[in-house]
Amino acid sequence: MMFLKTYRVRSYEMGLHFRDDEFRGLLGEGTHRFFDPFDRVDVQVVSQRAPFLVHEKIDLIAKRADLKGVARVLDLEDGQRALVWVDRRFGRILPPGPYVYWTNFRDVRVEVVSTDRPRFEHEDLRAILANPSAREQLEVGSVGRGCTGVLFLDGKFAGLLEPGPWAFWKGSADVRVVEVDLREATLDVPGQELMSADKVTLRINAVATYRVVDPKKAVCTADDYKQALYRELQLALRSVVGGRELDALLADKEAVAAEAASLLSGRLAGLGLELQSLGIRDVILPGDMKDLMNRVIEARKAAEANLITRREETAALRSQANTAKLLADNPTLMRLRELEVLEKVIAGGKLSVILGEKGLADRVVNLL
């Protein structure tokens, strides 16, 4: 018959029966025939293998269909979201609105959660955030190892976040997370140009080791705590170097660093920072001052060398004077000394004695 319409619904399908564009019910497995001379009947066959029923008239279907044993209706309010697992795997996050999901062919589990608290926490957070649909409903991020996250909600401090992923519901609040590294860090202060107490211009390279001990202070007290630390280091070095003459500065750089560190301790505490160490790596003098210092050092070393030479000469003369006095006071000792000298002369080679006048020969014989 030409006015008879036939629809076949398979075991994994479901028929949506409409008459005059009004939803009339579900049609199960089988063959369904309708006498429809005026073309008022329409049956749309959908698959139950897809977890959710997607239809432009889902609100009418959810209200009028008898879904017992076939499907379930889910109607989410503005402050609610639904977490959906399909076959024990996370599927998606559903925004507010009506939904119908089949229960015959797929293992569908739905967990309704509230968005009253801006932060989203769940035991399966990592699996949920790995799903692309999570980005549609959540603001997500992660705090790195050795760091902490300073959390602000609507511009107000709201707490600290531990290392790991975090998520907040979109639209629930203006979320800002500032990551702060809690590990020990170093800050170089290169080429700091300063003037000593004796008006000598020099440049100092310093290095500081620090760590953040109060993340809230570090973020809230200064717009950039690293830049604030750099500025405080410059001021402390300028203060200490300006109170010392160049010679004192060069003689004890460790004392300069220690004094600057003591000045910094109180200032850095207000920034939530703790200074671990401060060292002066280099002191660079201008070219003309460097030449002058080299000449001073050269003259000083020459004077020291002359002083040592004179000291040794004086000691030698004093020793000779003492020896001469001792020989003059002891003729026998003088005689022994003469014999030692003569013995050395004889032992050193052939001795030829040429005698002249008689008096000279007698004196030599007496000497021997």
Mean of all residue pLDDT scores within the chain? 83
pLDDT of residue 165: 93
Cβ-proximal residues to 53 (8 Å cutoff; 6+ apart), any chain: 46, 61, 71, 99, 100, 101, 102
End-to-end CA distance of the chain: 170
Q: Rounded mean pLDDT of 24-46?
A: 88
pLDDT of residue 297: 62
* Pairing status of strand 147-153 against strand 185-195: unpaired
pLDDT of residue 172: 86
CATH of domain 185-285: 3.30.479.30
Q: Give the predicted TM-score (pTM) of the model.
A: 0.66
Q: Rounded mean pLDDT of 138-166?
A: 93
Least confidently predicted of 95-99, 169-173, 321-325: 321-325
pLDDT tens-digit series, residues 290-305: 555 556 566 676 677 7
pLDDT tens-digit series, residues 327-344: 777 777 766 766 776 677
pLDDT of residue 252: 82
pLDDT tens-digit series, residues 241-288: 888 877 777 778 888 888 888 888 888 888 999 999 998 887 777 655
pLDDT of 97 strictly over 60 = yes
pLDDT of 364 strictly over 90 = no
The fraction of the chain above a pLDDT of 90, given in percent, is 29
pLDDT of 199 strictly over 60 = yes
- Three-state SS string over the chain comes to CCCEEEEEECCCEEEEEEECCEEEEEECCEEEEEECCCCCEEEEEEECCCCECCCCCHHHHHHHCCCCCCEEEEEECCCEEEEEEECCEEEEEECCEEEEEECCCCCEEEEEEECCCCECCCCCHHHHHCCCCHHHHEEEEEECCCEEEEEEECCEEEEEECCEEEEEECCCCCEEEEEEECCCEEEEEEEEEEECCCCCEEEEEEEEEEEECCHHHHHHHCCCHHHHHHHHHHHHHHHHHHCCCHHHHHHCHHHHHHHHHHHHHHHHHCCCEEEEEEEEEEEECCHHHHHHHHHHHHHHHHHHHHHHHHHHHHHHHHHHHHHHHHHHHCHHHHHHHHHHHHHHHHHCCCCCCCCCCHHHHHHHHHHC
Indicate the residue type of 288.
D
